[in-house]
Amino acid sequence: MSELLSTDTLSIAFTLNGEAIETTAPAEISLTRILRDVLFRTETKIGCEIGRCGACMVLMNGQAINSCLVMAWQVDGAEIITGAGLEKLPITGIVRQALAEESSFQCGYCAPGFVISLVALLSEEPDATNDDLMTALEGNICRCTGYHSILRGAKLAAARVRDFGARTSAAQKTYAPETKAPETAVSEQA
Ligand code: FES
Ligand code: FES
């Protein structure tokens, strides 16, 4: 559990992509900054840093959240999954493959956030409708594509998850390092 070291610095412990992390961080910085600047896990991107663009999305205790809005003191004890840990969730391969087949992204900077949102939705709701997709992605901004290609990829992913059926049950939201994910093809490097 966390220990207040001073008025400015916290000791925090959490799980990152299945790995136990213990570190210290300034109390006023965000989870995005902890990941990138303290732990050097740069797969989580930075955009607006005010909760508007979705570039910084991660899974926190299974929920898609903007990590720029989570402060250091809120991270203690949490399970965090970034884009680098998503492949351990079987549904991720379906989502990434569908997005790749529809050439959903151009520069790819927004891709980790979109993938996080889609994995969170389709893990929770394998029968997601187009309206569900639109709602889930409304917090993700793309500066390149105009969204049509992303939505085509999202709809293809949703259709395949529906076909995936019982194997995409809620049980698969659990982080399962031993589970082999399908091949992935979407670049999330930027
Ligand atoms: S950087 Fe977090 S929402 Fe934009
Ligand atoms: S593909 Fe460039 S920001 Fe979305």
The residue ranges of every structural domain in the chain are 3-81, 86-173
Q: Which fold has domain 3-81?
A: Ubiquitin-like (UB roll) (3.10.20)
Residues 124, 136 contacting (CB under 8 angstroms) = no
pTM > 0.95: yes or no: no
**Does the beta carbon of 142 lie inside 6 Å of ligand 2?**
yes
- Supply the pLDDT for residue 8: 81
Q: Which fold has domain 86-173?
A: DNA polymerase; domain 1 (1.10.150)
Whose Cα sits closest to atom 3 in ligand 1? 51
Residues 30, 21 contacting (CB under 8 angstroms) = no
**Ligand 1 pocket mutation, candidates 44, 45, 52, 142, criterion most atoms within 8 A of CB:** 52
Distance 163 CA to ligand 1 centre (A): 33
- Supply the pLDDT for residue 7: 59
* 3-class DSSP state of 135: helix
DSSP 67: G
* 3-class DSSP state of 76: coil
**Contacts of 125 by beta carbon, 8 Å cutoff, 6+ apart:** 132
Distance 164 CA to ligand 1 centre (A): 31
- Supply the pLDDT for residue 163: 86
Give me the DSSP letters along 151-178: HHHHHHHHHHHHHHGGGGSGGGGS--TT
Whose Cα sits closest to atom 4 in ligand 2? 142
> Which residues are bridge partners to 65 per DSSP?
58
Rg (CA), the chain: 16
Q: CA 81, CA 189: separation in Å to the nearest integer?
A: 16
| Paired sense of beta strands 63-66 and 9-16, if any | unpaired
Q: CA 158, CA 131: separation in Å to the nearest integer?
A: 12
Ligand nearest to the backbone CA of 146: 2
Comparing CA positions, the residue from 78, 74, 79 lying closest to residue 25 is: 74
Alpha helices in the chain (DSSP H): 31-33, 72-75, 91-101, 111-124, 130-137, 148-164
**Does the beta carbon of 105 lie inside 6 Å of ligand 2?**
yes
Distance 109 CA to ligand 1 centre (A): 12
Tens-level pLDDT at each residue, the chain (190 residues):
444 444 588 999 999 999 999 999 998 899 999 999 999 999 999 999 999 999 999 999 999 999 999 999 999 999 999 999 998 888 999 999 999 999 999 999 999 999 999 999 999 999 999 999 999 999 999 999 999 999 999 999 999 999 877 454 544 444 443 334 344 445 454 4
